[in-house]
Chains A and B, each alone.
Chain A
């Protein structure tokens, strides 16, 4: 990303003025401001009777856990009650959601993504009503059947394995029907919307936010503002295309579209000069990454599963390091940064890991683009092929879910592939992926340290602590601090209140929205500044593709082996209760 790459840095400098003159620090200040505002809003608007409702639900779940050797209907009802406790459901949460909406899903008419009138909303609701009524009736019937089967198992004091299995099966059917019913319910809740005013407001707010830093850093704030509106427009079109229904089938989201649209403009009509002052790729990415730090909740990982931690945290670093070494020693990748970004992208969690690693090792924008492109192609294929393979081989869904969670790059594709198999597979797949998501923090920090101490220094020369500090990308510190602070808040609130207030409050209700836009802006800026010929040069000899395929093959084999060992040899009792 930094244009002065490939230059060995002998010594760096730091001064107090860096705090207001360097974009790394501005990324931290802007990220901190957004997180503070989000925290102020949501911590002052918790769901009503939050603690009492959590305590009541937990007491029912504990009682049911001691009553039966499986999750009962009452257990799930209590769990669902907890799941509805979200700070984003408060009136202010809903207002924020309305004013920060991205373009909606559409199929043939792009205008549907931005505008829907009352008549169209009513017509859609009326069209979907019979389907919802049928789903609701089916759910009601399957719940009755589940209760009856559970009662029969209880009559036998849960000692009859056949009756227990029958109850478990009926309860699983009810859960599946309930999920289908809640999806159908959403389709009868359409409301009219007009996103044009809110998008304009959002654009102005972000332009103002970034231009303050641009001005203080001594850059052309007026030029930035003019160009920013064009970059934002490319971002809006990218979101629009990412939410087109066919694109959703292949997991081709806004990141790919922002780069593609930007590159189309840059390599045909040419990016106009007046846009160029707004192509602040690193400024947007680093600010987004500081916000992403708040989403890296270490305490959440501990709460969601020991077997998954082993699968994700043992296999992932092994694959990352092995692929990097393989790229250097065997394939002889010409660029260390490209090697590292592809290795992290493939082994950790796709685009988000690629962004974090690219920024930490100061990779070029073309290298990030290439890595994301490779990841996208393989994600689309694996999202469809892996569930088919798991089905065809009759692989247990817990094992299949863990396998997909550890290998498919993008979290959205993992969730879709898992849910396609079963709710159980989706839960396991998504859990493994969430644990991998959290690894981004460790990866970015480790790569930044490795680059400062080993790569960007002369061979044989020892680098002192101050030198490391001078060279260290400071936004990584903001990223780590945000992660530590929000993980601590999450832990101190307790996982249930943390889920309601942090995960489904400050993060999903505020910081995540801005983080998504900042990444989208950075991808649009990357596209607008990328020369197609230069990009093709990085692909010479197909080495990046060979690296990705070899690394992913290792990943597939190791993840499957480790998942089998963890879920079926070391922790079979946990697997039985999932």
Chain B
């Protein structure tokens, strides 16, 4: 039996083939890349432990950017004296 290129069966076959590609990308290809290199594996473990939102793209989406903001502001607003000045 041949499947007509515009038939519903053909289109749904393509759809499920696409889903299979997504599934293999998520559960086979990416984990295999991670396992293939120490650098990838170490970074993956770090991301799991730190919980950093790697997929987000603006600073307000990322919690640690708030910490970086606070740390940077502190440095500029209350910069520790230099070593050669006398403590108060």
Query: A residues within 8 Å of B by Cβ?
Result: 58, 61-71, 75, 79, 82-83, 105, 157-159, 161, 164, 180, 183, 186, 241-256, 260-261, 264-265, 267-270, 292, 295, 300, 303-306, 308, 349-352, 383-385, 387-388, 409-413, 415-416, 419-420, 426-427, 429-431, 433-434, 437, 495, 499, 503-504, 507-508, 512, 516, 573-574, 577-578
In the complex where A249-B44, A304-B73, A504-B66 touch, is A351 in contact with B57 (Cβ < 8 A)? yes
Q: Please determine whether B72 and A269 come into contact, CB atoms closer than 8 angstroms.
A: no
Which residue of B11, B27, B72 contacts A427 across the interface (Cβ within 8 Å)?
B72
Closest beta carbon of chain A to B80's beta carbon, Å: 5
- Which of A65, A249, A268, A411 is close to B57, meaning CB atoms less than 8 Å apart? A411
**Chain A interface main SS type:** helix
- Interfacial chain B residues near A79, Cβ < 8 Å: 70-71, 74
Does B15 contact A412, Cβ atoms closer than 8 Å? no
Bound Cα distance from A64 to B75, whole angstroms: 12
- Closest Cβ of chain A to B27, distance in Å, is 7
Q: Which residues of B contact A65 (CB under 8 A)?
A: 78-81
Residue of B nearest to A355 (CB): B57
Give B60 Cβ to nearest chain A Cβ, in Å: 5
29 CB < 8 A contacts A-B? A64-B80, A66-B81, A67-B87, A68-B87, A75-B80, A180-B49, A247-B26, A254-B55, A256-B55, A264-B19, A267-B14, A268-B18, A303-B72, A303-B77, A352-B58, A384-B40, A388-B39, A411-B61, A415-B68, A416-B43, A416-B50, A416-B54, A419-B52, A430-B68, A433-B59, A434-B69, A508-B66, A512-B60, A573-B82
A residues near B17, Cβ cutoff 8 Å: 268
On whether the beta carbons of A186 and B51 are closer than 8 Å, the reply is yes
Residue of B nearest to A578 (CB): B75
**Chain A nearest Cβ from B72, distance in angstroms:** 4
Give the chain B neighbours of A409 by CB distance below 8 A.
57
Q: Are A426 and B83 in contact (CB under 8 A)?
A: no
Q: Which 6 residue pairs are nearest across A and B when measured between Cβ atoms?
A: A253-B55, A430-B68, A268-B15, A251-B54, A268-B14, A304-B72
A300 CA / B58 CA spacing, docked (Å): 14
B55 lies within 8 A of A412 (CB): yes
CB of B76 within 8 A of CB of A384, answer no
A416 and B47 contact, CB distance less than 8 A: yes
Which residue of chain A is the closest to B6 with respect to CB atoms? Answer: A270
**B56 with A264: CB separation less than 8 A:** no
Known: A67-B81, A264-B19; 7 extra A-B contacts, CB below 8 A, are A68-B81, A82-B70, A409-B57, A416-B52, A419-B64, A433-B65, A577-B80
B79: chain A residues at CB < 8 Å are 65, 574, 577
B46 touches A431 (CB 8 A): no
Complex contact A431–B58 (CB within 8 A): no
Q: A304-B69, A412-B56, A416-B50 are in contact. Are A68 and B80 (CB under 8 A)?
A: yes
Inter-chain contact A158/B69, CB cutoff 8 Å: no
A206→B48 CA distance, assembly (Å): 32
Whether the Cβ atoms of A350 and B57 lie closer than 8 Å is yes
- With A and B bound together, what is the CA distance between A530 and B67 in angstroms? 39
Residue of B whose beta carbon sits closest to that of A436: B59
Cβ-neighbour of B54 out of A180, A183, A413, A431 (below 8 A): A413
Q: How far is the CA of A164 from the CA of B82 in the complex (A)?
A: 12
Q: Which A residues are in CB contact (< 8 Å) with B62?
A: 411-412, 415, 430
